[in-house]
Structure 1
Amino acid sequence: MTSQQVAYMEQSRAPLVQGVMWTMSIVPLFFVCGRLYVRVFLKRVFGWDDFIIIVAICLLIAYAAVCHAATQVGLGRHLIVVEENPNNLISVALLCDIGEVLAIMACTLGKTSFAVTLMRIVVKRWMKILLWFVIITMNLVNILTAFFVFLQCKDPRHLWNPTIPSKCWPADVFTNYSLFVGAYSGAQDFVLALLPWTIVWNLQMKKKEKFGVAFAMSLGVFAGAAAIVKTTYLVALSAKADFTWELAPLLYWAAVEDGLAITAASIPALKPLLVRMFPSSPGDSYNMISYPPKPRGRNVFDPSQGETQTDIRQGSLRDMGSQTAIIEPQTPGKESENINLRTEVSVRYTQSP
């Protein structure tokens, strides 16, 4: 055996897979924990977007664990090496199929959480319609993809153990559908990243503040870029000539996309935490995510989609809405200069006993 052959046999992408997988799981986990600290302990509210992001990060960690286990039995090595032990080859194929489903659902839920968060702040009807369209279609195509992973063959066991006979779809059917889903997922990332700019740019605040808020809300564009890169690896994988080696980049780029999507969905909620950590920073006068007033002594589930409610009790006016959270505080006598967003509210009077 020549030195080149030895070097080929010893090549391994396993350390890279493990490093990327755990990095792109642990970093988003810190952001999700920070988000939950703000929501539960600082604001004492908990919404559907928070629940969805928790499920997403759990799926991402499970994905990293499954792929780590796959590297222990041959993922990231050349097929000629792994097939020396047929049982390892079967284990790699099975674990990668399971990991693929976990990655698909983690990515879908991460983006869904951000879309639900945006529903809190949008005020225009076409934006709400667009967000619902993104949420529904994104979940539909990705859930179908997750099912198709195991439905390609009449007997799913054939997918990881070719010795079991089964009738399967033509190889290019699932590959072409996956290419479509990858491209569509990337397009949705860009839609969700650009939508905050249309919301923020017409608000009355300094341009520097507008840019900062809009940029923080549009970090999902990096997840879109990762989705494009991931999709390119599907073409190379379709041949399946050396799948244990060629599958590695596809899997860790999927982890990058998932991690960036979950991180981008969590960052906008961290502003109150940053204000507490750095008191000298500007006040929290332009939070993009609205929070109802913090109830005393208990947490509440907050399923709101940005409604505005106003209560008048004992002569006090209390605002619970989202639109005013993105407008600068009014200066007495200059209301006409500071308000550029008009919202109709319903007023409920409660007479004290």
Structure 2
Amino acid sequence: MPSLEEKYPAYGGRGPGDLHLGITLAIIATIFMSLRVYVRLFINKFGTTALILSLIAWLLTAITQTFGVLAVLHGLGNHVTSIAQVGELGNFLFYTWMTVFFFNLAIPTGKVAVAAFLIEMNGQGNPKIRKSLIAVAATNIAVNIPQALLVWVQCSPTNALWDPLQQDKCDYRKNVYYNYFVGSVAALSDLYLAVVPIHMLLPVKIDRKLKWGLSFLMGCGVFAGVAAIVRTWAAKFILSEDSSYGVGILFCWGEVEEWLVLITMSIPPVWPVFRPFTTRFVKSTATGSRRRGYTYNLKTPYSTTAAGDQSPGLPPPLVTTRISISSVKDLELHDTAVEPSEASSQISDERLPHELSHGTRMSRSWVELSRVKRSSS
């Protein structure tokens, strides 16, 4: 069987490295997306909207990667003189600009999907975070639409975009300069979307190893922000004399940004799949009890006496949160009786009591309400 170099004579330079990196990241991201679908279908109903947006982002990124592979095979990442010698400049230009077009669609969609998941994860807990996430999503859509349209108005006529003999009819400067602005917005968005989940996890009283482990994994979106910074800097190579070789850097870091966004956003939703394998590394959330969730009716007070009094021998149970991303959407709170013998059991050191108002309802929450046992005096 002939090698890629023999079958595609323009293939070379930075191209092979970009190709292998992109395919590797695509496989990892696809595995995570498949696990997200599995969790949604068979484990819980949480995060449907975010999952749909993530699948759209994955599809657009896969299309971008497909055109990117074709562009690499026809010279992207190789020196322009080598591409011209084998007569592949036309194919190189066509597939490269198609890659750029779909990239400008995939990037904002991925960030919208991340924001949607964090909004569902936040629930009604922090209105300021919710508004800021909506602002991040809207901003990325607003600034990337012109970027995608600029691809088709750089040349007059449009087909000069992939015609090597009509490149003098194209002006790529507006695209490059605007890319600096869009790339800056994308980098700041990635950094913010990486910090927000850490901010949500810090107040939660869970095993320290689990907390910092999840914080690190969810904060890996910072690397997507770094990739956005580098690919924004690399946009200058579009105007260079050896643009095909320099754009290989832009393409490489664009791949990293796209796929890392999908991978890091998929870590929290697929946690229920990996949770059984982490029990040996984290402490039990309840001493001597099974890992199961219980719910309480918060619509009526536990005490039937005057305000401030409590039924003798039966203190009101504490409602605490346990880290779990397998909670159902719109969790209903049912009545659950608490036996006096259970109220005298040990309380876990890994619990953090939360004060919840009567008559409230949890919606779109990413935590479970669990039975908490009071320590004996």
| Aligned counterparts, 1:1-353, within 5 A | 12-44=13-45, 47-86=48-87, 88-122=88-122, 123-164=125-166, 168=170, 170-239=171-240, 241-277=241-277, 280=280, 282=282, 286-287=322-323, 289=325, 291-292=327-328, 310-312=332-334, 338-340=352-354, 342=356, 345-346=359-360
Q: Distance in 2 between matches of 1:97 and 1:288?
A: 43
| Contact 1:120–1:290 (CA under 8 A) maintained in structure 2 | no
Q: Which has the higher helix share?
A: 1
Shift of 1:77: 2.1
Partner of 1:301 in structure 2?
A: none
CA change 1:51–1:162 in 2 (3 A) is same
Instruction: Normalising by structure 1, report the TM-score.
Output: 0.77
Give identity over the alignment, percent. 24
Range with bigger deviation, 265-274 or 57-66? 57-66
Task: Please tell me whether Structure 1 or Structure 2 has the larger radius of gyration of its CA atoms.
Answer: 2
Q: Distance in 2 between matches of 1:10 and 1:273?
A: 40
Q: Distance in 2 between matches of 1:188 and 1:112?
A: 10
Aligned length: 307
CA change 1:346–1:118 in 2 (3 A) is same
| Contact 1:121–1:288 (CA under 8 A) maintained in structure 2 | no
Structure 2 spans left out of the alignment, 5+ residues: 1-9, 286-290, 292-320, 338-342, 362-377
Shift of 1:56: 1.8
Q: Distance in 2 between matches of 1:124 and 1:10?
A: 51
Q: Distance in 1 between matches of 2:15 and 2:45?
A: 42
Shift of 1:195: 1.0
Instruction: Normalising by structure 2, report the TM-score.
Output: 0.72
Q: Distance in 1 between matches of 2:344 and 2:48?
A: 32
Q: Distance in 1 between matches of 2:11 and 2:144?
A: 36
| Contact 1:117–1:289 (CA under 8 A) maintained in structure 2 | no
Shift of 1:206: 3.9
CA change 1:198–1:73 in 2 (3 A) is closer
Range with bigger deviation, 47-56 or 197-206? 197-206
Q: Distance in 2 between matches of 1:256 and 1:171?
A: 24
SS in 2 for 1:63: helix
CA change 1:345–1:176 in 2 (3 A) is farther
Q: Distance in 2 between matches of 1:178 and 1:137?
A: 15
Taking only aligned residues, the RMSD between alpha carbons, in angstroms, comes to 3.0
| Contact 1:275–1:281 (CA under 8 A) maintained in structure 2 | no
Task: Kindly indicate whether structure 1 or structure 2 has the higher relative contact order, using CA contacts under 8 Å at least 6 residues apart.
Answer: 1
Q: Distance in 1 between matches of 2:103 and 2:270?
A: 25
1:279-330 residue CA offsets vs partner (Å, 9 max, x unmatched): 65656774454632xxxxxxxxxxx6xxx55354xx569xxxxxxxxxxxx9
Q: Distance in 2 between matches of 1:10 and 1:29?
A: 26
Shift of 1:343: 5.6
1:212-247 residue CA offsets vs partner (Å, 9 max, x unmatched): 2322322211111111111121123322x1122111
1:152-178 residue CA offsets vs partner (Å, 9 max, x unmatched): 23422111115348865x542211110
